Structure 1
Amino acid sequence: MPETGSTLPRRQLGRYLIEWRTRAGLSQQKAAELLEIGSSSLQRLERGLNGRVHVRDIQAACDLYGIPDDLAGFLVLLARQSSAKTWWYQVTDRAPIHFNGYVKLEASALELKTFQPQLIPGLLQTEDYVCALFASYPDETVSEHEGWIQLKRQRQNNVTRKLRPLTLSAVVGEAALRRVAGSTQVMAAQLRHLADMSTRPNVSIRVLPFSAGFPRGAGNGSFVILEFGTTATGMPTEPTVVYLEGIIGNMYLEEPTDVAEYHKLHAAIEHAALDAVASRNLIRQIAREHSA
């Protein structure tokens, strides 16, 4: 069972420290020696189990491992928020896209449940759909658009890889199927891709039709539930995390009572949604309407 000292910011910080220590070619023991801290302290830091994270230790590790300044600033932010059980992540605090905290978290998950009332889920978006979405952000450069597309491909590989692919259970609102991003041709291709992905054994896609109304307050917006598997004794390897994306910032919840509420909400939405076959049929029908 995860130890009580663990919080999401601490675990995220630990993942980055392991990754960059490995890139630097340092063993845990050698890194601890150079950082002038105990090897057991570094081990706990990398596992996200330190009762208190010292910013000076993180800054020293960033210097030792050659971590870029922009990412180093993000890791210091994680260190300062290390005790938070509810992690509020402001857009202005966000690391560069290749260091996005959510991406690291998603890559570690074994199962993902999501409700997306207005947009096609990111893990299921086509490149043209992504481009159409980013076209509405005039301040973004071409290189930034390309970076987001590359990152999206990286994330989608978690679903399509052959070895232990991510299990994805998505409920998509009918509005996401009918709202046009880019052009009707883009939408037709996107929906055909969505229907094709729904045939994969690790992917479940259900449509919440307009006629279903708002089960358990489903009009509140999108959310993602990330689960990380269990140990040999059946205990979770990490606490489940709920991710809520906002305009000015993102929120991560891991308090058991909060997580339980979102599990209930997802179950209620899934119960009100069409079954897998009816969902696939509706997706293909709307794709034909976009093509007409």
Structure 2
Amino acid sequence: MVGGSTLPRRALGRRLRELRTKAKKSQLAAGLAIEVSKQGIGRLEVGQVVRISTAQFRDLLDFYGADEDAKTEVLGLLQEVKAAKGDSSSGWWRAYADVVNPHFDHFMSLEQACRRMTTFQLTLLPGLLQTPAYRRWLVATADPAMSAVDVERRLELAARRQRRLVEDPDFSLEVLLSESVLRHQVGGREVMSEQSQHLVEIGRLPNVSIRVIPFDAGGHLGLVVQSFTLFDFPPLHASRMAEPPVVFVEGFTGALFLEDDSVIERHKAALASLRQVALSEDDTRVLVQDIAEEYAA
């Protein structure tokens, strides 16, 4: 999956791929039928931007032998793609593109479009829960050469992302944390004391669930799976079907966006296993509060 794609564009590409496969047509043949390269058809099918007119879409649907219902669905998705492109409120995060990783545009597209975000973190807090001081230390450590101005822009971006937790009641966040996340002294004891208190407070929001997997839970699947985030999406209007989930896995120099059904199911099973060994929300608050007081002592 490539940065910047939108949910309607992903759905459009997936539906066109299904119709092409059903028609037993190759990407090369499809491209020749509407005077687009084979690579262009490939990019279209994975949700990337390709300059194709509505007339060409109609010709492509005719080439695939699509029935009227399929044509209506695809053209409806096409209208959603155009509407998303013209929405001046979308893509606000792109103003910060010069101070974030190349994959972050796509990550933000998913984060802003999803209805539910579930994340397991083994070493660090997810961005939506980080205090400015915690985030500042991470930025300075990852890129010590970054200018003070750009550091502040990174903090501004984080703050804008976090607004959704309180401004969008339809968005929910579930966080499963290894206790090690709370024990690593990111930025020092004072920063961690403040960060821990912040977790206690933000965990009281009705759409936020924070649960810790304590050290005394012993070995658990998360130690093997490592950190990841699952995005779940609302249905699209044109197709009336839920957009398939996406799993995000970040590394030091890159990231993966996973969409294969079997891969998604394995990560969902991992989450189910982690929930079984995690503390309740109430017990988590008690633990986090105790840790905050330890840092403040």
Q: In 2, distance between residues paired with 1:175 and 1:126?
A: 18
Q: In 1, distance between residues paired with 2:170 and 2:208?
A: 10
> Is 1:259 aligned to residue 245 of structure 2?
no
Q: In 1, distance between residues paired with 2:235 and 2:15?
A: 17
Question: How big is the shift at 1:13?
Answer: 4.1
* Structure 2 unaligned residues grouped into runs of 5+: 1-7, 18-41, 59-74, 86-93
SS at match of 1:4: helix
SS at match of 1:182: coil
SS at match of 2:249: strand
Q: In 2, distance between residues paired with 1:235 and 1:153?
A: 33
* Paired position in structure 2 for 1:177: 182
* Paired position in structure 2 for 1:152: 158
* Paired position in structure 2 for 1:129: 134
Output the TM-score relative to the length of structure 2.
Answer: 0.68
* Structure 1 unaligned residues grouped into runs of 5+: 18-34, 49-60, 62-70, 75-90
* Paired position in structure 2 for 1:140: 146
Amino acid at match of 2:184: R
Question: How big is the shift at 1:134?
Answer: 1.5
Q: In 1, distance between residues paired with 2:179 and 2:242?
A: 35
Question: How big is the shift at 1:287?
Answer: 0.3
* Paired position in structure 1 for 2:223: 218
Residue 236 and residue 276 in structure 1: after superposition, are their counterparts in 2 closer, same or farther (change >3 A)? Answer: farther
Give % identity: 28
* Paired position in structure 2 for 1:66: none
Residue 39 and residue 280 in structure 1: after superposition, are their counterparts in 2 closer, same or farther (change >3 A)? Answer: farther
- Structure exhibiting the larger radius of gyration computed from Cα positions: 2
Residue 47 and residue 245 in structure 1: after superposition, are their counterparts in 2 closer, same or farther (change >3 A)? Answer: farther
The one-character-per-residue Cα deviations of 1:13-35 (angstroms, maximum 9, x if unpaired) are 46xx9xxxxxxxxxxxxxxxxx7
Contact 2:236/2:243 (8 A) holds in 1: no
Residue 165 and residue 8 in structure 1: after superposition, are their counterparts in 2 closer, same or farther (change >3 A)? Answer: farther
SS at match of 1:118: coil
Residue 128 and residue 250 in structure 1: after superposition, are their counterparts in 2 closer, same or farther (change >3 A)? Answer: same
- 1:173-212 pair list within 5 angstroms: 173-212=178-217
* Paired position in structure 2 for 1:278: 283
Amino acid at match of 1:37: S
Residue 40 and residue 228 in structure 1: after superposition, are their counterparts in 2 closer, same or farther (change >3 A)? Answer: farther
> Is 1:102 aligned to residue 107 of structure 2?
yes
Output the TM-score relative to the length of structure 1.
Answer: 0.69
Contact 1:109/1:166 (8 A) holds in 2: yes
**1:38 equivalent among 49, 54, 69:** 54
Question: How big is the shift at 1:248?
Answer: 1.7
Aligned length: 229
Q: In 1, distance between residues paired with 2:194 and 2:250?
A: 26
Residue 126 and residue 10 in structure 1: after superposition, are their counterparts in 2 closer, same or farther (change >3 A)? Answer: farther
Contact 1:191/1:283 (8 A) holds in 2: yes
Contact 2:122/2:222 (8 A) holds in 1: no
Amino acid at match of 1:38: T
Question: How big is the shift at 1:144?
Answer: 2.2
Q: In 1, distance between residues paired with 2:272 and 2:133?
A: 31
Q: In 2, distance between residues paired with 1:289 and 1:257?
A: 43
Question: How big is the shift at 1:150?
Answer: 1.4
Q: In 2, distance between residues paired with 1:282 and 1:9?
A: 49
Question: How big is the shift at 1:236?
Answer: 4.4
Residue 278 and residue 126 in structure 1: after superposition, are their counterparts in 2 closer, same or farther (change >3 A)? Answer: same
* Paired position in structure 2 for 1:23: none
Amino acid at match of 1:279: T
Residue 272 and residue 234 in structure 1: after superposition, are their counterparts in 2 closer, same or farther (change >3 A)? Answer: farther
Amino acid at match of 1:282: L
Larger relative contact order (CA 8 Å, sep ≥ 6): 1
Q: In 1, distance between residues paired with 2:122 and 2:52?
A: 50
The one-character-per-residue Cα deviations of 1:92-116 (angstroms, maximum 9, x if unpaired) are xx16x6xx22111100000000001
**1:237 equivalent among 239, 242, 247:** 242
Q: In 2, distance between residues paired with 1:107 and 1:191?
A: 26
Q: In 1, distance between residues paired with 2:235 and 2:129?
A: 26
Question: How big is the shift at 1:139?
Answer: 2.1
Q: In 2, distance between residues paired with 1:111 and 1:9?
A: 26
Question: How big is the shift at 1:268?
Answer: 0.7
> Is 1:164 aligned to residue 160 of structure 2?
no
